[in-house]
């Protein structure tokens, strides 16, 4: 008898634009809004809306027996809010049924843990609060961006107050052990680990529409047979998918939506051997089999469960080091706009674009907007430079206003005027930058 | 497999890009067991590299019988295809109106008529000068007849002709012997001259490419030009990329201490429209607004040089923009080795071998997307030649971020391992074999 832990990961990055050295100080628009909008609409139409539609129907059909979990990044939520609110409505409707468990994560989908732990903790807490305010329940399970995991993450997550971590069932860490049990983290005894079953998961996400695959075509019935086969000696089968598996990596004509729709029926045909459960209930029901010590970082990269896709070359390391050097200063300033841009700039995808292995391994459903990893790096470093300029300006103006405040301490109702002045000041900066930009455009026309 | 190869350059006899390519190619072919007879317009003593048979067209005796056959087959072919009459003309590639006037003047005062006839035996020959002299067309015409005479003497399975100068000879030998003809195109007239083409050259190119059995292009870019401009069927054209031979002795150049705080950006090539030097200068102007401690070097000569020197002074960037003139041999190696970035902003470049040479010295390269070599170099920086802002942005990035240069160099070094003449030779041999019907 085993529980199927179905977990869908939803993440969309904002598209960055080509940002040159000549834009630094002139324009602080890093994102390509048109492209972001287009991508959001396209993904909603082909993936999120049809998938959520089916999931909602399945929840209603099996009244409480079909349950699953979702993890959603902040940037995906922002994109949905901004361009496709109907996706968000669908998510809320599913949340109301109580059959969906929402998973916590570092909201902006970052690699913050590796470089700046405090930043990481901020991001996880902010995301939990946002999930609670949107869907009504505080997450108790956690998954890191790209399923990154090691001992230290377990310790930090334990301190934050989560009970469970989802990660990759990588061969290097499991060895002879099966991923289909609950494990404990040796360094953080209260943390339970649920590890993805890589074989069964990628049979759907990677191989479903591969006609050369010996098992093609894969039907829900066949898949349920495999699950039953696995269930004989296991407690839980962790199937984690990138939501793109439904409608993007596997297109509609591959039959992926029929597969999803028929999966619960096929699973319930094997009652009581199989059932659906979410992480919250799994860790309550099943005791852990063993404690795992995982000193090296692992991830869910399908090719090697390592982190080379994000941290494989000098450019990526350089960019990451540079962006996380600013963490303390940005947090100390606590300026909403800068903080928003700063967390966005940390999105892990932007570093994946710099992977020089990308020439051989780009995923068609997550295209690299840049023509080469070098272009990605160059653009990114320029943006970071511009951001640093803005940070410095803001720090200086804050220092100045603090000095003024100290000097005119005894005079009474100054605070209101000050904040007004600050607001005006920002307007001015923007006006200047627009002027400069139009000047630049004119100069370009002349040339 | 025996190959009769017709070429206009071969080191040390005129060593431009074409000669360098022919050298690397034939060397690799020889290693694969092919026997190459290479017919040059003219050879000097002591230039034989040893791995092939170098023959000089100049001075080859044409006997009466050969002359009769060459004439009877050759003349109708000219009339049908080339419509070309030998005239005294100073036409040559890379000529501007000013240098053309000079060439006309030289021609009028020259006495290079060099036909030698032996009355007793009825044989005759021409003396050729080689290179790209003022009477290039006449040379091409004569080379054609002399090479045909050699073709009647030699044994071979396939004819392989490099660029338009040797296409007439290739066609003639093809018609005389019936052996298959491969026309290798290193640069088209449209690459050299833009839209203002020399129609005679284009006509010869067209006749050669249409009349041969297989066309070998140095890049997909060139293949597309050949297909679009000359109507050659796409399936007849095979792309074989050039490569570069790593020099055996590697001299280490040390950057002078006084220059160590600076970065150097290099342009090396003919200073002509085709190579886009003015885009390099414009990018330099933009870079100098953003980055200090950088110098730009323009190495090479050409018709645009005087104008660009004026332009540099107008822009007031002369202090940071240097003209190194035409460099040769050791000087070229030295300037490559001392550079921090090599830029090739070519407007049109069928292949472009210099970036590969720069990479031999672990110099990162920035290429125009309008070059054939960018098709095989995935780890080079690329920009459209007209987008000087983009180019300048990338130059600044290489100068400012050591991680970028380091990554490019490391990956290019890996990539270079696959760009070898051996691979090109293998492709060529399989072409020869398919044409010769497995006569190897």
Q: Give the count of beta carbons closer than 10 Å to the beta carbon of residue A100.
A: 21
Query: Looking at the complex, does the CB of residue B106 fall below 8 Å from at least one CB of chain A?
Result: no
Could you give the angle at the alpha carbon of A290 between the alpha carbons of A72 and A296, nearest 5°? 60
Average confidence (pLDDT) over B18-35 = 90
Question: What is the least distance, in Å, from the CA of B296 to any CA of chain A?
Answer: 19
Range B223-233 average pLDDT:
93
- Which chain A residues touch B if contact means CB-CB below 8 Å? 18, 20-22, 313-315, 317-318, 356, 359, 371-372, 374-375, 377-378, 381-382
Alpha-helix runs per DSSP H in A181-313: 198-205, 220-231, 256-268, 279-285, 308-311
How do strand A188-196 and strand A183-185 relate by DSSP bridges? antiparallel
Q: Where are the alpha helices (DSSP H) in A206-278?
A: 220-231, 256-268
Residue A252 tokens read as 């509609």
Query: For residue A135, how many C-alpha atoms fall within 13 Å in the half-sphere facing its CB?
Result: 28
Q: Which of A67-81, A219-233, A429-443, B64-78 has the highest mean pLDDT?
A: A67-81
**Mutating which of B364, B404, B412, B418 best tests the A interface, going by the most A Cβ atoms within 10 A?**
B404
pLDDT beyond 70 at A37 = yes
Tell me the pLDDT tens digit for each residue of A312-355.
889 999 999 999 999 999 999 989 999 999 999 999 999 999 98
Section A294-321 average pLDDT = 81
Confidence of residue A434 (pLDDT cuts 50, 70, 90): very low
Contact A72/A282 with Cβ under 8 angstroms?
A: no
CA dihedral B157, B163, B165, B167 (to 10 degrees): 40
Coil, strand or helix at B215 = strand
Instruction: Count each helix (H run) and each strand (E run) in chain B, helices first.
Output: 15, 15
Instruction: Tell me: pLDDT of B418 over 50.
Output: yes
Tens-place pLDDT, residues A357-374: 755 566 778 888 888 899
Judged by CB atoms closer than 8 Å, whether chains meet at B393 and A378 is answered as yes
DSSP 3-state assignment of B420? coil
Whether ipTM exceeds 0.85: no
- Choice among A408-422, B101-115, B156-170 with the minimum mean pLDDT: A408-422
Subunit contact A318:B393, Cβ cutoff 8 A:
no
pLDDT of B389 higher than 50 = yes
Angstrom CA distances, A244 to A272, A348, B235, B269, stand at 30, 17, 39, 49
B381 to chain A: nearest residue by CA?
Answer: A374
What percent of chain B clears pLDDT 70, i.e. is strictly above it? 87
Contact present, B374 and B349 (Cβ < 8 Å): no
Residue B427, helix vs strand vs coil: helix
Rg (CA), chain A: 24
What is the pLDDT confidence band of residue A304, given thresholds at 50, 70 and 90? low
Phi and psi at residue B156, to the nearest 5°: -160, 165
Largest CA distance in chain B: 76
pLDDT over 70 at A90, yes or no: yes
Chain B CB contacts of A356 below 8 Å: 379, 407, 411
- C-alpha angle B77/B80/B85, rounded to 5°? 75
Q: Where is A100: in which H helix or E strand? A: strand A100-103
* Band of pLDDT at residue B160, cut at 50, 70 and 90: very high
Q: Give the closest of A22, A317, A372 to B393, CB-based.
A: A22
- Per DSSP (E only), the strands in B205-314 are 214-217, 237-239, 263-268, 294-299
Contacts of B77 by beta carbon, 8 Å cutoff, 6+ apart = B171, B172, B175
Q: Please give the pLDDT value at position A144.
A: 92
pLDDT at B104 over 90: no
Distance from CA of B333 to the nearest CA of A (A): 27
Residue from A215, A213, A210, A303 nearest A251 by CA = A210
Here the tokens at position B160 are 């392989």
- Residue A168 and residue A147 in contact, taking contact as beta carbons nearer than 8 Å: yes
**Stretch A206-211: mean pLDDT:** 89
Mean pLDDT of all residues in chain B?
A: 85
Provide φ and ψ at B92, rounded to 5°. -160, 160
Token readout for B90 is: 């100073």
Take residue B89 and report the two structure tokens written for it: 């003309």
Q: What is the pLDDT of residue A306?
A: 66
- Report yes or no: A36 and A15 within 8 Å, Cβ to Cβ: yes
User: How close B403 comes to chain A (CA, Å)?
Assistant: 5
Q: What pLDDT score does B333 carry? A: 86
- Return the structure tokens found at A68: 């699953």
In the structure encoding, which two tokens stand for residue B21, read together? 């390519």
Decide if pLDDT at A298 tops 50: yes
Instruction: Kindly state the average pLDDT of the residues B125-146.
Output: 78
Higher pLDDT, A407 or A47: A47
Is the omega angle on the peptide bond into residue B12 within 30 degrees of 0, that is, cis? yes
Q: What is the pLDDT confidence band of residue B121, given thresholds at 50, 70 and 90? A: low
User: What pLDDT was estimated at residue B287?
Assistant: 96
Average pLDDT, chain A: 88
All domains of chain B in start order, with CATH: 2-114+121-243+421-437 (3.40.50.2000), 257-416 (3.40.50.2000)
Please give the pLDDT value at position A125.
95
Residue B269 has pLDDT above 70, yes or no: yes
The rounded distance, in Å, linking the Cα atoms of B130 and B132 is: 7
Contact A356 B390 (CB under 8 A): no
pLDDT of residue A126: 95
For B223-374, list the strands marked E by DSSP.
Answer: 237-239, 263-268, 294-299, 321-325, 341-344, 365-368
Look at the block and give the residue holding tokens 């004119």.
A442
Element spanning B205, H or E: helix B199-211
B426 touches chain A (CB under 8 A): no
Mean pLDDT throughout B320-341? 90
**Which is more confident, B196 or A24?**
A24
Contact B315/A at CB under 8 A: no
Please count the residue pairs, one from chain A and one from chain B, whose beta carbons lie less than 8 angstroms apart: 57
Backbone torsions φ then ψ of A143, nearest 5 degrees: -135, 135
Q: How far is A378 from chain B (nearest CA, A)?
A: 6
What was the pLDDT predicted at B252? 75
Nearest to A383, CA basis, from A25, A12, A6: A25
> Is residue B62 classed exposed, middle or buried when 0-12, 13-18 and 19+ CB atoms within 10 A define those classes?
buried
**Chain B residues inside the 8 Å CB shell of A315:** 401, 403-404, 407
d(CA B94, CA B92): 7
On whether the CB atoms of residues A366 and A348 are closer than 8 A, the answer is no
Please report the pLDDT score of residue A426 as a whole number.
47
Q: Which H or E run includes A274?
A: strand A274-276
Nearest Cβ partner for B407 among A314, A359, A382: A314
Residue A416 has pLDDT above 70, yes or no: no
Strands (E), B79-208: 115-118, 123-126, 158-162, 181-185
E strands within B223-370?
A: 237-239, 263-268, 294-299, 321-325, 341-344, 365-368
Average pLDDT over residues A370-396: 94
Q: Is B403's CB within 8 Å of A318's CB?
A: yes
Bigger pLDDT: A438 vs B398: B398
- A69 forms beta bridges with A7, A101
Q: How far apart, in whole angstroms, are the C-alpha atoms of residue B336 and residue B314? A: 28
Give which of A49, A125, A76, A134 is closest to A100, Cα–Cα. Answer: A134
- In whole angstroms, give the CA distance from residue A274 to residue A276: 7
* Contact present, B379 and B408 (Cβ < 8 Å): yes
The region of weakest confidence among A159-163, A243-247, A430-434, B4-8 is: A430-434
Query: Are A154 and A191 spatial neighbours (Cβ–Cβ below 8 Å)?
Result: yes
Q: How far B381 CA lies from chain A's nearest CA (Å)?
A: 7
Using a CB–CB cutoff of 8 Å, tell me whether B286 touches chain A.
yes
How far off is chain A from B359, nearest CA to CA, in Å?
17
Confidence of residue B324 (pLDDT cuts 50, 70, 90): very high
Highest mean pLDDT: which range of A430-439, B118-127, B160-169, B255-264: B160-169
Instruction: Give the pTM.
Output: 0.85
């Amino acid at each position: 008898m085993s529980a199927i832990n179905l977990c869908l990961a939803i993440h969309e990055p904002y598209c960055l634009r080509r940002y040159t050295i000549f834009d630094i100080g002139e324009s602080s628009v890093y994102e390509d809004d048109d492209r972001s909008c287009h991508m959001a609409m396209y993904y909603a139409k082909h993936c999120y809306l049809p998938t959520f539609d089916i999931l909602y129907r399945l929840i209603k059909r099996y009244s409480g027996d079909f349950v699953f979990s979702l993890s959603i990044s902040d940037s995906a939520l922002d994109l949905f809010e901004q361009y496709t609110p109907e996706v968000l409505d669908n998510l809320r409707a599913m949340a109301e049924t109580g059959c969906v468990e929402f998973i916590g994560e570092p909201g902006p989908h970052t690699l913050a843990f590796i470089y700046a732990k405090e930043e990481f903790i901020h991001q996880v807490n902010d995301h939990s609060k946002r999930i609670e305010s949107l869907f009504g329940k505080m997450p108790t399970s956690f998954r890191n961006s790209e399923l990154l995991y090691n001992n230290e993450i377990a310790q930090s997550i334990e301190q934050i107050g989560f009970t469970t971590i989802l990660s990759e069932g990588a061969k290097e860490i499991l060895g002879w052990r099966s991923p289909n049990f609950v494990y404990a983290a040796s360094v953080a005894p209260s943390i339970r680990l649920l590890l993805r079953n890589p074989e069964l998961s990628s049979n759907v996400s990677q191989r479903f529409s591969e006609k050369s695959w010996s098992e093609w075509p894969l039907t829900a019935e066949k898949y349920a047979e495999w699950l039953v086969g696995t269930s004989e000696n296991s407690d839980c089968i962790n199937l984690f998918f990138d939501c793109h598996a439904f409608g993007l990596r596997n297109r509609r004509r591959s039959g992926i939506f029929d597969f999803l729709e028929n999966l619960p029926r096929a699973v319930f045909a094997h009652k009581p051997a199989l059932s659906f459960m979410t992480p919250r209930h799994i860790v309550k029901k099943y005791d852990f089999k063993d404690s795992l010590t995982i000193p090296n970082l692992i991830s869910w990269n399908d090719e090697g469960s390592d982190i080379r896709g994000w941290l494989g070359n000098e450019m990526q390391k350089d960019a990451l080091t540079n962006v996380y050097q600013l963490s303390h200063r940005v947090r100390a300033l606590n300026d909403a706009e800068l903080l928003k841009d700063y967390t966005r700039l940390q999105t892990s995808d932007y570093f994946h674009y710099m992977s020089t292995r990308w020439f051989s391994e780009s995923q068609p459903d997550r295209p690299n907007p840049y023509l080469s990893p070098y272009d990605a790096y160059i653009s990114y470093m320029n943006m970071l430079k511009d951001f640093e300029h803005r940070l410095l300006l803001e720090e200086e103006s804050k220092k100045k206003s603090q000095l003024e405040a100290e000097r005119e301490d005894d005079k009474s109702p100054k605070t209101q005027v000050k904040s007004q002045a600050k607001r005006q000041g920002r307007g001015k900066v923007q006006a200047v930058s627009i002027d400069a930009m139009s000047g630049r455009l004119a100069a370009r026309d002349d040339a | 497999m025996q190959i009769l190869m017709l070429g206009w350059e071969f080191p040390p006899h005129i060593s431009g890009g074409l000669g360098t390519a022919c050298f690397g190619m034939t060397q690799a072919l020889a290693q694969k067991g092919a026997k190459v007879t290479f017919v040059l317009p003219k050879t000097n003593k002591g230039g034989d590299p040893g791995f092939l048979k170098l023959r000089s067209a100049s001075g080859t005796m044409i006997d009466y019988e050969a002359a009769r056959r060459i004439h009877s087959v050759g003349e109708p072919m000219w009339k049908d295809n080339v419509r070309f009459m030998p005239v005294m003309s100073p036409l040559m590639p890379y000529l501007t109106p000013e240098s053309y006037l000079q060439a006309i003047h030289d021609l009028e005062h020259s006495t290079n008529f060099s036909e030698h006839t032996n009355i007793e035996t009825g044989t005759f020959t021409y003396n050729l000068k080689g290179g790209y002299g003022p009477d290039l067309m006449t040379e091409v015409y004569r080379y054609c007849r002399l090479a045909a005479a050699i073709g009647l003497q030699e044994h071979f399975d396939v004819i392989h002709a490099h660029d338009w100068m040797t296409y007439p000879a290739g066609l003639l030998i093809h018609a005389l012997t019936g052996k298959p003809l491969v026309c290798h195109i290193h640069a088209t007239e449209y690459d050299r001259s833009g839209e203002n083409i020399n129609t005679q050259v284009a006509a010869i190119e067209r006749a050669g490419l249409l009349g041969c059995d297989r066309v070998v292009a140095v890049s997909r870019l060139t293949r597309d030009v050949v297909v679009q401009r000359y109507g050659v069927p796409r399936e007849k054209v095979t792309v074989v990329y050039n490569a570069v031979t790593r020099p055996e002795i590697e001299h280490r150049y040390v950057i002078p201490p006084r220059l160590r705080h600076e970065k150097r950006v290099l342009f090396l090539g003919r200073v002509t429209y085709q190579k886009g030097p003015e885009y390099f200068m414009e990018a330099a102007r933009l870079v100098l607004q953003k980055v200090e401690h950088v110098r730009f070097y323009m190495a090479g000569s050409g018709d645009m040089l005087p104008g660009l020197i004026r332009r540099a002074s107008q822009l007031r960037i002369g202090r940071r923009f240097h003209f190194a003139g035409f460099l040769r041999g050791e000087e070229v190696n030295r300037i490559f080795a001392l550079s921090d970035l090599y830029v090739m902003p070519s407007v049109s470049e069928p292949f472009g071998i210099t970036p590969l040479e720069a990479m031999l010295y672990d110099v990162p390269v920035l290429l125009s997307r309008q070059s054939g070599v960018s098709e095989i170099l995935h780890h080079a920086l690329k920009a459209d030649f007209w987008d000087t802002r983009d180019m300048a942005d990338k130059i600044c990035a290489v100068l400012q971020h050591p991680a970028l240069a380091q990554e490019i160099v490391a990956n290019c070094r890996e990539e270079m391992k696959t760009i070898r003449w051996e691979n090109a030779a293998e492709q060529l041999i399989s072409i020869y074999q398919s044409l010769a019907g497995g006569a190897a």
